[in-house]
Amino acid sequence: MQALINAGGKGSRMGKCGVEKPMQVIGDKPTVQRVVEAISTSSNIDRLIVSVSDNTPETERFLNSIGVETIRTSGESFMDDLHDAFRAMDGDYVLTCPSDLPLLTTDVVDLFIEYFQPGTMESAIAVVDEETVVRTGITPSYTREYNGRQWVLSGLCIMNRPTTLAGAYLKEYLFETDWVELSVNVNTLDELELARSYFNTTPDIPFNHNRMQSD
């Protein structure tokens, strides 16, 4: 399976802090590098591309310097960037992930891919129980109700590439977890400091292999 990391957005919620959001350092590495390493080391991924834009020139230079394949997109919107990148990719299914998920691990990536059933599922998104996210110190800006619970979208997805490019509807399956690795999206300065605190106090983030999914 091919993978796409989205790193071309404007990062407006971070404010004018002088550093592109994907290049914010967490635990001695830029956020985008942490996500690249988590995904690229999965044995299920055979190609990884990072989308960049005029919004993130430093990110593009850094990724090129460490040998990561990039693609230039417009940076105007998530869907525009997604379509730009998907047109340059191959295969029916693509794993997509934002560049601001620094606690992501290869274990999480592998378990998500193992859950996905190509041919049966058109798309899947990893979600986190709202209570787990709140316990990290984050107040979710959006939740989705499912099976009587509230879920937070992590941004980690698998999508049918041809169907997405055709603009057709994709039925979503929810990969339900209570994993902290998917709980911290770094969109604000407060969330940046929260993510840094995990690496300051917990060098090895504990991973709970027990999914909440009831298939």
Is the pTM of the predicted complex or chain greater than 0.85? yes
Q: What is the pLDDT of residue 196?
A: 92
Q: Which residues make Cβ contacts (< 8 Å) with residue 168, sequence separation at least 6?
A: none
Strands 93-98 and 2-6: parallel
Task: Assess contact for 27 and 92: CB atoms under 8 A.
Answer: no
pLDDT tens across 128-143, in order?
Answer: 999 999 998 898 989 9
Class of domain 2-201: alpha beta
Q: What is the pLDDT of residue 10?
A: 78
Question: Within the chain, which residues score under 70 in pLDDT?
Answer: 11-17, 201-215
Q: What is the pLDDT of residue 215?
A: 40
The residues spanned by each domain of the chain are 2-201
